[in-house]
Amino acid sequence: MGTDLLRDGFPFADGILDGKTALVCGASKGIGRACALMLARSGAKVVACARSTQALDSLVREMHGEGHTAMAIDLEDTRAVEDAIAKIGTVHILINNSGGPPGGPLLENEVQDFEGPFRRHLFAAHTITQALVPGMEAAGSGRIVNIISTSVREPIDNIGLSNTLRGAMASWSKSLSRELPTCITINNILPGFTETDRLKSLSESISERTGKPASDVREDWMDSVPIQRLIDPLETAVAVTWLCLPSSSAIRGVSLAVDGGRMRSI
């Protein structure tokens, strides 16, 4: 499916994001990587950010077009984030994305367990947004998209720390949607069960705690999804890119689920 979406099934007009620069956090794998590929295919110049230099270099070589760059940053290091963002210049599109914390019951987490995940996601997103908004406003255009989780509407069992973090991100984003300049939008994407390393890790973690085979865990997940399959990260990237289009300027402060219909809430 991924190859079709980027080639024969590419859903956007070629060059629709020409002249735009996009910063994609957590771009080395999963949904972040798919977003970088889709935005590049749409004409944006992509700055791909993650901790893994090797994975980023491979991504840059794979992206459509020219002028893309890689930037190795540890999003938990606020000072390093500030220094790196100061060197980028004007960014028109920001994708805030970071890997989720380990699973497990919330009551088993100590206070210090919250620090790293909040630094690399909420704190980093806030730091980067503060730095980039003036340039977006000067350019007359800005799009901020946060990759969070369906757990902001329906908390998911055994990932209590992640539920807490994603909920904080959603409230932060909604608050900013009331404050940002009129030319800048901010929205959230709520991924469902998506074919990523993160999902594999969660199924294995649940298997270790319960003794249930990881394959059965995944099967239970699929039974709850009307489309009866995992979501391709590139499908999520299509929704992200759509929110970044010039014509999407009236969409502001929403949380859009890409979950195959799993959630029961309206």
pLDDT score for 25: 98
Which tokens in the block code for residue 158? 């055994």
pLDDT score for 218: 77
pLDDT score for 248: 97
pLDDT score for 222: 79
The alpha carbon of residue 210 and the mean position of all alpha carbons in its chain are separated, in whole angstroms, by: 29
Query: In sequence order, what DSSP letters do the residues of 238-250 get, joined into one string?
Result: HHHHHHHSGGGTT
Q: Which helix (H) or strand (E) holds 6?
A: helix 2-6
CA distance 128 to 26: 13
Closest CA to 124 of 87, 151, 103, 94: 94
pLDDT score for 266: 83
| Helices 78-85, 124-139: crossing angle, 10 deg rounding | 20
Tens-digit pLDDT string for the chain (266 aa)? 555 788 778 999 989 999 999 999 999 999 999 999 999 999 999 999 999 888 999 999 999 999 999 999 999 999 999 999 999 999 999 999 998 888 889 999 999 999 999 999 999 999 999 999 999 999 999 999 999 999 999 998 888 999 999 999 999 999 999 999 999 999 999 999 888 777 677 777 777 777 888 887 778 777 889 998 889 999 999 999 999 999 999 999 999 999 999 999 88
Query: Looking at this protein, which amino acid is placed at residue 29?
Result: K
pLDDT score for 234: 95
CB 74 within 8 A of CB 97: no
Provide the strand spans (E) within the chain: 21-25, 45-50, 69-72, 93-96, 142-147, 184-191, 255-258
The CA–CA distances, whole Å, from 82 to 45, 135, 222 equal 21, 15, 41
pLDDT score for 221: 76
CA distance 184 to 152: 23
CA distance 78 to 91: 19
pLDDT score for 6: 85
Domains delineated in the chain: 2-195+231-257 (3.40.50.720), 196-230 (no CATH)
Among all chains, which residue has been given the structure tokens 């998209």?
A: 145
The CA–CA distances, whole Å, from 194 to 95, 166, 167, 187 equal 18, 16, 19, 19
pLDDT score for 133: 98
CB 103 within 8 A of CB 206: yes
CA distance 49 to 121: 13
Q: Which helix (H) or strand (E) holds 222?
A: helix 214-223
pLDDT score for 193: 87
